[in-house]
Amino acid sequence: MNGQGRDAGPAVRRYNSGMDLFHLFRNQRADILSRPFPAEWLSTLQANVGHYGRLTASEQSKLEDDLRVFAAEKTWEGAQGFEITDEVKVSISALACLLTLAMPAEPYPNVETIIVYPAAYRAPAGRQMSGGIVEESLEGRLGEAHQRGPVILSWADVLREEAAADDGRNLVLHEFAHKLDMRDGEANGVPYLRSRSACDDWSRVMSAEYANLKDDVEHGRHTPLDPYGTANPAEFFAVATEAFFERGRRLRERRPALYRVLQDYYGQDTSART
C-alpha cells in the first residue's frame, strides 16, 4: 500500500523570506482566534464528536482554538463530488487535534491536504509476485495516510465510528496517528519522542505489547485492541492510539504498561474520561 491506513493540491504562494511566512501565519492565527467560536460549530462538536463532551472546560476551549487553526490552514478536497462543508472540517479537525491537545509543538507540519470521500472507496494496490512481477488491483479502503501526501478519509465511516465512541475504532484518530508516526520520516510505530530514555522505554514496551496482541489474536483471546494492529508495528501504534482514546480505562486495566507509554506521549489521562 502506498501509505498507511485501514482496509491529490492547490497552488502554493511562495515568499522570499521564511520570516515573512512566519509573520503571516502568526497574524492569521491571531485573527482566527480573536473571533468568538461559531455557535453552529459548537453544535457540530456536540452532535458529531462524542469525545468533546468528555473533556474538561479548559480542554474544550483549547480544542476549539486548535481545530479552528487546523481547519483554516489545511487544504480540503472532496472526492467523487463530495462537498466539503463546515461540518466536515470541524468534525475531522476536532478529532485530529484531540490527539495533539497536550502537545506544545506544531502538531501536523507533515499534513497539507485532507481528501474526503463520501463513503468507502477503492484505490490501486500492488502485490509483489515472484520474478519481480507486481500484480495490480483495486482495494476497498476507509482511509489512508501517505508519508509525503494527504490524509484520505471516508466521511460515512468518520461519522459511523465516532458515533460508537467506545468500540476502540476511530478512523480519524487512526489515520492521524500514522501522520504523527511519520513525522520522523518513517512509518515504523515510533513517533518523535522527547529523549533517548523515552525511546528506549517505548521500544521495550511497544515490542512486548505488539507480541502480546499477536499471541492474543492467534489464540482467540479477547483484547481491548483491534486485531488489525497485528499487521505491522505502524498499524499497532495506530490501533493502540484508538484504544487509548476510546477505551482508556479498559486499556489501563488490561495493558497498564502500554497505557503508560501512550499517556506519556500524548500527555493525556484518557482513563479519567471513559
pLDDT tens digits, one per residue of 240-251: 999 999 999 999
Note whether residue 49 is domain-resident. no
- The pLDDT value recorded for residue 135 is 59
Go through 242-261 and write b for each residue having 16 or more CB atoms within 10 A of its CB, e for each that does not.
Answer: bbbbbbbebbbebbeebbeb
Residue the block writes with cell 486485531: 227
pLDDT tens digits, one per residue of 43-102: 999 999 999 999 999 999 999 999 999 999 999 999 999 999 999 999 999 999 999 999
Looking at residue 4, the DSSP 8-state letter turns out to be B
**pLDDT tier at 128 (50, 70, 90 boundaries)?**
low
Give the Cα separation of 49 and 262 in Å (integer): 21
**pLDDT tier at 18 (50, 70, 90 boundaries)?**
very low
**pLDDT tier at 17 (50, 70, 90 boundaries)?**
very low
Note whether residue 111 is domain-resident. no
Angle at 157 between CA 136 and CA 52, to 5 degrees: 140
- Tell me the three state secondary structure of residue 266: helix
Note whether residue 181 is domain-resident. no
- The pLDDT value recorded for residue 23 is 55
- The pLDDT value recorded for residue 15 is 35
Reply yes or no on whether the pLDDT at 132 is more than 90.
no
- The pLDDT value recorded for residue 44 is 98
- The pLDDT value recorded for residue 71 is 97
Reply yes or no on whether the pLDDT at 139 is more than 70.
yes
Reply yes or no on whether the pLDDT at 7 is more than 60.
no
Q: What is the pTM of this model?
A: 0.86
Reply yes or no on whether the pLDDT at 131 is more than 90.
no
Q: What is the mean pLDDT of the chain?
A: 89
User: What CATH number is attached to the domain comprising 223?
Assistant: 3.40.390.10
Q: How many CB atoms lie within 10 A of CB 223?
A: 17
Cβ distance 273 to 245 under 8 Å? no
- The pLDDT value recorded for residue 1 is 40
Find the Cα–Cα–Cα–Cα dihedral 114, 68, 177, 165, rounded to 10°: -100
Give the Cα separation of 53 and 96 in Å (integer): 16
Q: How many CB atoms lie within 10 A of CB 55?
A: 18
Kindly state the average pLDDT of the residues 34-39: 94
More reliable by pLDDT, 168 or 188: 188
Phi, psi of 53 (to 5 degrees): -70, -15
Task: List the domain range (segments joined by +) for residue 198.
Answer: 188-274
- The pLDDT value recorded for residue 105 is 77
Note whether residue 269 is domain-resident. yes
Reply yes or no on whether the pLDDT at 274 is more than 70.
no
Q: How many CB atoms lie within 10 A of CB 31?
A: 10
Note whether residue 225 is domain-resident. yes
Number of domains in the chain: 1
Reply yes or no on whether the pLDDT at 191 is more than 50.
yes
Reply yes or no on whether the pLDDT at 104 is more than 90.
no
Beta bridge partners of 135: 127
Cβ distance 248 to 274 under 8 Å? yes
More reliable by pLDDT, 63 or 18: 63
Kindly state the average pLDDT of the residues 143-168: 91
Reply yes or no on whether the pLDDT at 233 is more than 90.
yes
Note whether residue 270 is domain-resident. yes
- Tell me the three state secondary structure of residue 35: coil
Note whether residue 208 is domain-resident. yes
More reliable by pLDDT, 21 or 54: 54
Note whether residue 99 is domain-resident. no
